[in-house]
Amino acid sequence: MATVSPGYTFTGTTDPITYTKLNQVAAPTVTIGAGEVVGTMLTPNIVMSGLSLNTNYAFIGAATAVSFGGAISMATANVGGNTRTIACTSNTASTITPTTGGTAGQHLWIIFTTDATGGNVITYASPFKTTGTHTLTGASKYFTIHFVSNGTYWCEVARTAALS
């Protein structure tokens, strides 16, 4: 159950009342336990001053660039947002391995761009569950793939062909 602690509690009869202490009384600390707030209880556009959340909470609207190479270890913690961008180079094949299988219900989008060479082939290692390799045919193109986690695996939802 959520607890509310006052910003200041007057103690004894010798504790003088000051404007600073009165302002603290009006600024309580609210502690909400895990699972006490669910999505259906929230309304859009919530504004909270001084909000602090633990890591691994999903936030939409953030993207993290991932370095391209033959082997890519992709961090999937939500602190990096739910989108990864990868700039592919030199017709190189690559295997992407996520660091975790994600949190059930978590979404992950990967946006690939190819350079003037193009022709990259992407393999998705476990715990990805996909329809197979992703061939990025074409120079200077964009490709996307979308996954959702079941808590163990990143299950492919959709992927695009070349976007110009």
In 3D space, the residue among 76, 70, 86, 63 whose CA is nearest the CA of residue 147 turns out to be 76
Task: Check: CB of residue 99 under 8 Å from CB of residue 76.
Answer: yes
Mean pLDDT lowest among 26-35, 39-48, 134-143: 39-48
Displacement of CA 45 from its chain's centroid (Å)? 19
Q: What is the pLDDT of residues 97-145, one digit of tens each?
A: 999 999 888 899 999 999 999 999 999 999 999 999 999 999 999 999 9
pTM > 0.85: no
Query: Could you tell me the domains of the chain?
Result: 3-39 (no CATH), 63-159 (2.60.120)
Write out the two tokens for 10.
């007057």
| Amino acid sitting at position 163 | L
Q: What is the pLDDT of residues 68-87, one digit of tens each?
A: 999 999 988 776 778 999 99
State yes or no: cis peptide before 16, omega within 30 of 0: no
